[in-house]
Structure 1
Amino acid sequence: MPSQRGSARRRQRGVLLAGIAILLLALVLAAVLASALTRGKKEESLEPLRWQGRGTTRNLREIVLGRCYGYLAERRAELGDKDCLKIWESLKDAFIHKNPCNATTEDYQPLMKLASHPIPCNKENFLTSLSIIYCTLYLISQSLFWSKTNDLVHLYTKSSRRFLTLEDTFLGYMFDGISWCGDPSAPGINYESCPKWSECEGNPGSVFWKMASKMFAEAACGVVQVMLNGSIETGAFRSSSIFGSVEILNLNPDKVSEVQIWLMHDIGGPQSESCSGYSIKKLKNILEERNFKITCEDNYRPVQLLQCVHNPDHPDCSLCTNSTEAP
């Protein structure tokens, strides 16, 4: 009998030890599995968000600083003291490590403040006008707005120093043609893709350029111009464009004496709309309701002649040549 009881106890002890071993093994396996899952989630979180637009411009810091220093070297007397490093840091702080669909105007307020500078907006009237209006821009003669005429309008402002687009200003020059967006994962900047404006309204590019455009329009004074494309079938003026949805609404009738519309047609392209066209009438109605004086000219001659410089042999340019001949 004693031997049987001892054998039973040994069996019980063996079963107990085996159960403990199985339990320990199960705990170890659970810990390994949990660790693997956690590591997998961390690795997954390191993947940047994917969007449809192009990613952050490579060497963004160097490009912004280079443009900043270069611009100041030409216009330091007009702009005063500007800290390019602080400007870069304010841009970086506005988007780094952030979801690019959650950009806000508050994010970019420090940058707008650092890049702005109040000075007279009309050089020609500075000595004759006692009621000179000060603008948050460097010294300009006339503000030139545009929509769907990017290449042409900037070709013109480079040849004529009397006009200035947003992209010719200190703020616009630094950031024209580049892109940027953040990402919650390291390194906080997404170089692979950024949201298109159509993907989400609060993306960095949309918020930045709408703020800059608003500031540019608010600063405009005297006679201002807008260059539109009359070769677009859908209409030269679009209320959904930045000009139509931001700039035109922020022009100040108390500061702007006249809005001149330049409706340009592509050399060799269709003349889809003239100054009497539907979308131009819509633009005129908006401006008239806001008490602006308005003029419109089809193919403003100085710009058309500039088009013909690049297309001298095109039949359309024979009209440009004839129009300059003495009667």
Structure 2
Amino acid sequence: MVSKKAFPIDGTVTIMVVLVVLVPSVLLTPQTAEFRATFLKKCEEFPEKKQICEKILATFEQAYVGKNKNEVSEKNYNQVFAETPFTHPCEKTLLWSGTYEIAHEFAWSSKCFFTLEDTLLGHVLDKLEWCGEKGNKETFTEHCTDVKPNPVSSFWEKASITIGQYACGHVTAMLDGERPAPYFPTTFFALYEVANLQSPKVTQLTVVLVVKEDKGQCNNESLKNLNNILKGKKIVYDCKEVTQSHIKTCVREKKTCGACW
């Protein structure tokens, strides 16, 4: 702009240019900036277009930004899941409980199965932490899970419900056979995934019980309970014990679909 002081009394003309620097009223904190950058980076690695990732991030933030941690329920994520539906073949869904590492190694190696963390939102949010605060536009990445409900657990609750509803045909679940109760009623697998399997959309659930040694763990009482639940849903149940070492061999040799058990 040109200052009013540009015209002195002696008639000479001096032009003074004043630079106006606009400072944003709200600057992102390092936590918010880092979380957004990580979200977009993982989204584009999925891969997805940058513009789509930015839109998903904006919808995702609406679920928790400006809200106290314990105010965020699974319903807060309805919109982002509606806008980001699963795209993998529903009959290739691999559920898991207590077998995070080996289930994901096998799914990645075989390319035959898809875990929740192989979906776009699951991939992006896996191992991240986030929450908001009433009246605050920032994203925080620490101490977000010290209350229940919280934005992180509520997200995975919604994700687990959604993948249970999405699954179809012959579904596979990889469970930890070294646990006293491989099927435990308070796990996400039990509460949200098995509970939302729908017949006749889902015809069968095969439990791949990961064990150190084959000792007849498929006879575990908790798995009998799972069988009874599936019978009530008119879904066929099957259980196969597979040793950790055998699955590791399958991962190493990149066995094709179904060849590992």
TM > 0.5: yes
CA distance in 1 between partners of 2:190 and 2:145 (Å): 22
CA distance in 2 between partners of 1:260 and 1:226 (Å): 6
Structure 2 residue aligned with 1:183, among 133, 143, 162?
133
CA distance in 2 between partners of 1:203 and 1:251 (Å): 25
Partner SS state of residue 173, structure 1: helix
Q: Is the 8 A contact 1:143 1:225 kept in 2?
A: yes
Runs of 4+ in 1 over 4 A off after TM superposition: 308-311
TM-score (norm 1): 0.62
Aligned residues between the structures: 223
Q: CA deviation at 1:170?
A: 1.4
Q: Is the 8 A contact 2:212 2:245 kept in 1?
A: no
Structure 1 residue aligned with 2:82, among 113, 126, 130?
113
Q: Is the 8 A contact 1:98 1:188 kept in 2?
A: no
Change (3 A) 1:83 1:247: same
Partner SS state of residue 189, structure 1: strand
**Once superposed, what is the RMSD of the aligned Cα atoms?**
2.7
Are 1:282 and 2:225 an aligned pair?
yes
Partner SS state of residue 305, structure 1: helix
CA deviation string 1:6-55 (max 9, x = no partner):
xxxxxxxxxxxxxxxxxxxxxxxxxxxxxxxxxxxxxxxxxxxxxxxxxx
Q: Is the 8 A contact 1:264 1:304 kept in 2?
A: no
Q: Is the 8 A contact 1:166 1:213 kept in 2?
A: yes
Q: Corresponding residue for 1:305?
A: 246
Q: Is the 8 A contact 2:105 2:251 kept in 1?
A: no
Structure 1 residue aligned with 2:56, among 78, 87, 96?
87
CA distance in 1 between partners of 2:178 and 2:217 (Å): 9
CA distance in 2 between partners of 1:310 and 1:225 (Å): 17
Q: Is the 8 A contact 1:148 1:229 kept in 2?
A: yes
Q: Corresponding residue for 1:245?
A: 191
Structure 2 residue aligned with 1:165, among 115, 123, 139?
115
The code of the aligned residue for 1:181 comes to: C
Q: Is the 8 A contact 2:32 2:140 kept in 1?
A: no
Partner SS state of residue 175, structure 2: strand
Q: Corresponding residue for 2:73?
A: 104
The code of the aligned residue for 2:150 comes to: N
Partner SS state of residue 101, structure 1: helix
Structure 2 residue aligned with 1:68, among 28, 32, 43?
43
CA distance in 2 between partners of 1:83 and 1:179 (Å): 22
CA distance in 1 between partners of 2:118 and 2:231 (Å): 28
CA distance in 2 between partners of 1:283 and 1:238 (Å): 9
CA distance in 2 between partners of 1:309 and 1:104 (Å): 39
Change (3 A) 1:306 1:275: closer
Q: Write the mapping of 1:127-276 to structure 2, written as runs, cut at 5 A.
A: 136-139=86-89, 141-184=91-134, 186=136, 188-196=138-146, 199-200=147-148, 202-233=149-180, 235-266=181-212, 274-276=217-219
Q: CA deviation at 1:171?
A: 1.8
Unaligned runs of 5+ in 2: 1-30, 253-261
Partner SS state of residue 185, structure 2: coil
Identity among equivalent pairs (%): 27
Q: CA deviation at 1:259?
A: 0.8
CA distance in 2 between partners of 1:146 and 1:66 (Å): 26
Change (3 A) 1:266 1:183: farther
* Higher CA-based Rg: 1
Q: CA deviation at 1:288?
A: 1.1
CA distance in 2 between partners of 1:57 and 1:230 (Å): 40
Unaligned runs of 5+ in 1: 1-55, 117-135, 312-327
Change (3 A) 1:309 1:114: closer
Change (3 A) 1:191 1:237: same
TM-score (norm 2): 0.77
Partner SS state of residue 138, structure 1: coil
